[in-house]
Structure 1
Amino acid sequence: MATDAITGLAALLLATAFVMVTADTNSDDVTALNTLYTTLHSPWQLTSWVSQNGDPCGQSWLGITCSNSRVIAIKLPGMGLGGTLGYNMNILTALTELDMSNNNLGGNDIPYNLPPNLERLNLEKNNFTGTLPYSISHMATLKYLKLGHNQVSNVNVEFNQLTNLTTLDLSYNTFSGTLPESFSSLTTLTTLYLQNNRFTGTLGVLSDLPLTDLNVANNQFSGWIPEKLKSIGNLQTSGNSFSNSPATPQATPPQRPSPTRNPTDSNNSHSTDSKNNPSSGSNGGNVGVSDGGKRKVGGGGVAGIVISLVVLGAMLAFFVIKWKSMRRQHEEDLEKNVPLTHLASGKFKQLRPMNTVSPAGKEGLQRTVSMNLKPPSKIGFHKSSDKNDHLNKSVETKKTNLSSIRATAYTVADLQMATESFSTNNMIGEGTFGRVYRGQLSNQKVLAVKKINSSTLPTNPSDFFIELVANISKLNHPNLSELKGYCAEHGQCLLAYDFYRNGSLHDFLHLSDGYNEPLSWNSRVKIALGSARALEYLHETCVPSVIHKNFKSANILLDTELNPHVSDCGFADLIPNQELQESDENSGYRAPEVAMSGQYSEKSDVYSFGVVMLELLTGRKAFDSSRPWSQQWLARWAAPQLHDIEALEQMVDPALEGLYLAKSLSRFADAIALCLQAEPEFRPPMSEVVQSLLRLVQRSGVRAVELADSRRRHES
């Protein structure tokens, strides 16, 4: 009996263990649902849900459907839930249905990081505002999208990839503007609800869709309803400004051209129009002008007028083009006698005057630096009876533009001699915009010469380059790499900066040469503070603000006192966004919304700054393919552990050898966590980051760490 009891107990334990194993939910899914529970304000209605760990599949969490340990559906309609959706729902890669309709969610935008493989998404009857997330553009499996009864105002979605979508409900929002052209790609769409918005324009983009149910009532549409749409069984169009005319050029297919006629033969014109257009005798859009009560001038007369206007317009355009060609030739003749450096195009975004900046000093003190950042004068096109005088004034204005550049104009020969004809032996780096060479001038001054790839510049690179130089030369802050000179001769586009012997922060942290000692904790905080001040200046002092787009440790240069100088500022707008995203290294600094939409902002710079702070904290690279897959992207691996004291201490760079204060470390980690928020609106402005780092220096006794570090070096 005892043996049977033991056997039965063992079987029961085995069965229980089997159930527990099969019930375990995928860890990513658990993390996402824990976050969702927290951002929903931990509502009591969600029985069995918890904010940490748990087993959604095995414990049958309310509204959760699972398959093979993966969460495949979340259905929580009409639960009275508040808060918003989780910021990391994109890791629910097996989720095919998300129904959070008829709740009180929102108060802000729908999050970017939606589950990527959804087939059904229902967020109707909530309080979402702002813009539809661009991430919806990539949901190729989506069939059912309901977002009605919210307060969303901007579409911002490309529908080209949503070729499986059958139902789209955007009704009862505040959308405005014309319908997206990409609507025409919705080749499986049968149901479309757009009522009670502020859409304008026409419905032409919907003409060829297989719609069986269309509601566009109570908008601001105009024009004509396409004939194909009139055959829809369930069509509602009231409350718009559609034309009642039955025949329109937009709504009817083009007719066969009429035979050539003598304009004076009105009888022949009338008979021909009657044969080719049976509706011409009615009110089919013809202009009726009585002629003694016997005949009317119909569509042919209108066509004749239109043709005459077209011919007249063509002749006028010909003379305008001819005049511009002659003028351009004259300008080119003038420019043959004007140096290239005297030309500027005026096509770049200008910086308005700035008054003061707050540079980073060694003691954390602020000082005021006055600057004259008046933008170059734009070329004025004024009426003049003398065309030559007008052209001369234009050239003089371009010279004035050039005179505003506060940097030395070098010749190609100067920089060729300095770099030994751009010898590979003098190449010190290669970045997004070109290669960088060490150059020594005849006066022994050492420069870093950046040779810009002309392929990264738009058409007429020389003119654009001059404007680029003018804009960059206005940036003036102690923690920026200052432009010292430039060269724009013989098709060359060269920029000259101060040369920093300590190289970049990336090299200092990750490429040990056996000569540099590891950065102390005090130096790391100092570098973070100075870099933060540089971004604060770009974002909040420059008008208009300057977005860096390519902020990373390789673009933070260190002088002999380890003060940071941020490089590559002022010309990221010259290249398409996606070109900055190609390498895995750059992807380590990329904010989630940039990965989704390719669109950069000040808040995406803040995220990149948070990644650089992580590098300073851990000594690890932003992306490191040599590490295990879960640790390759530094931000993804480290961010969830920043508030775990034990995990944080394990993450600290071993090179620090424990020489830091726990409070200082904790506050540094807090600042990182704020910068790495998945939602851009939750990230602080750089001025707040600067203040938090200043408080860290003032309260956490960095000086004590510096003394301990000096003692260690003395003993060694």
Structure 2
Amino acid sequence: MNWRWRELISLILLCILGWKPSSIQGATDPTDASALRVLYSSLNSPSQLTKWNANGDDPCGQSWKGITCSGTRVTEINLSGLGLSGSLGYQLASMASVTNLDVSNNNIGGEIVYQLPPNLKRLNLARNNFNKGIPYSISLITSLQYLNISHNQLQNPLIDMFGQLTSLFTLDLSFNAMSGNLPQSFSSLSGISTMNLQNNQFTGTIDVLATLPLDNLNVENNRFTGWIPNQLKNINLRKDGNSWSSGPAPPPPPGTPPATRRNRSHSSGGSPSNGGSSEGQKSGLGGGAIAGIIISVLVVGAVVAFFIVKRRSKRSSSDIERLDNQPLQPLKMTATQEMKSEETSSTFYPTAFDTSAAINLKPPPIDRHKSFDEDDFSKRAPVVKKASAAPINVKAYSIADLQMATGSFNVENLLGEGSFGRVYRAEFDNGKVLAVKKINSSALPRELAEDFTDIVSQVSQLHHPNITELVGYCSEHGQHLLVYEFHKNGSLYDFLHLSDEYNRPLIWNSRIKIALGTARALEYLHEVCSPSIVHRNIKSANILLDAEFSPHLSDSGLESFVPNADQALDDDASSGYTAPEVAMSGQYTLKSDVYSFGVVMLELLTGRKPFDSSRSRMEQSLVRWATPQLHDIDALTKMVDPELKGLYPVKSLSRFADVIALCVQTEPEFRPPMSEVVEALVRLVQRANMSKRTVGNDNATSPRGGEMGGEDTP
């Protein structure tokens, strides 16, 4: 009996002890806890964040200030009005359960981080010191309902990235210095109710907003032009401080919905249908009269066309062939240009340089190549020139300007030579330093030079933190030049392969950072741009490093938009970056970009060139030599760049090699899309649990063993 009592008491004690940990400890998800620790350090460990701790592992159980949890996961971060400074860190993307992030009314600065919680419904960054632009990662947060980035210092044009944000009902970008036209993807904001764009420097028209279900729109104090669409005249509209056109507005393009508001009876407080009818009564012609005129014109046109066709049918076949070769081609180009002119400048549309043929591994339609036949092009050149789209948000430089800035393209200012021409350092009178690419005539021959402004227009629309920004162009006296932002630390190739007593080796964390940033640039080109852009020339020489050693992919879009790109790249086919299928077929695809990126990762891992004729025959090709050893940890540690001196986490090294192995597979269909590569590298960074010093402020100095020698978190 005593034995049974003891057994019963022991069972009760076990139950009590079993319940106690879960009721007392919050047991916060380790991923969330790690992300909040990084955030705490990035915000300069402020004392006003009570109970926060750089080593804390239970924000939920310890009730960290501003943190709300559900179970073990953090669901809200509300740090508004606490006088915080610093930045938002780099690990927020791992917080998958956070639906509300509010850091408004603080002094947080720098760029808005790319890494944001992926399932946010509310994001409030208002009244801080954020600069540059809006990261395109926000376009992937499809659950977002409220976005407020007002009262900051944002300056870049808006990326065309709003197509998937159909749940967004409030967008506030007011009181910044954003410029450029409104993006075409604004028209996809089917749930939008309130939009505040006032006190910026936006240009162009607001036609893209015409069909949105808006109740409140504020566009005051910008640089908008054109007419206010009738659809927006029955809402709460604030429009002062712009250069609106006066007089009667031109008729809307075909297919434009009538100027009546949709589903407004629930919120307008009045009778919007009456407003719509009054507008109709004021117009000079009713809908029936206009329809009658259009029908009459069509009937007359049909009759005329009938007799023309009938007369032509009596002519000889040679006459018909001669006539077909004369008027039909120019008419076809005119129609194409008219379609392009109706589309806004902020969106990518297929043009004569469309990359879909390469992507689909199919020959392009005959018409697309036919438009570049030399004889045919000469007939249509005036039409193309007349309708050519103007470059957007880039400056037009004169030859004289660039000659002065480069010392007449002095060899002392030569930065490098690529597939399309030489790149020079240019320093202007105001002290600004830029990079000027002088395009070879072989890459853009005379008969295609008329389309140079179209190329500039397309390339100027690429905006991403890891893509070298096009800031200007020059097209004079048969010369064609592109002006890019300048990055002081040169190319990744220089750092890895050119010995320089002033260049210290890149530490392991810097190498991961460069790989991740480059992967994000490719993800943007492949999966955000529409149509997708195949870079075609991924190599370490085209990855430029800024003062913080963040990577910037150069020549982005140029290879896709220049018709002679494949010919210009032929010399690079034996460089070691080219995917096997490209060497066989000559076709560049998204998956061939992935392969080339894998080769760059191999460079980062080994410090070797992709092809090195000075080595033994078995080791000349980096991919062929390294691939069999990527899953052998002993061989892998022997492959690592000796300049790292063993200062790297072994598990991090192994995971990095796993990503490489996926990217450089022989069969393209087995290579992952770049979004999966980005996810894998982000997980690698998170698991490595890098310190703020080595990730947030890389300076490429020799690392201390205590920072990099330890094992990463499994």
Please classify the TM superposition score into its range, dividing by the shorter chain length: 0.3 to 0.5
TM-score (norm 1): 0.47
TM-score (norm 2): 0.47
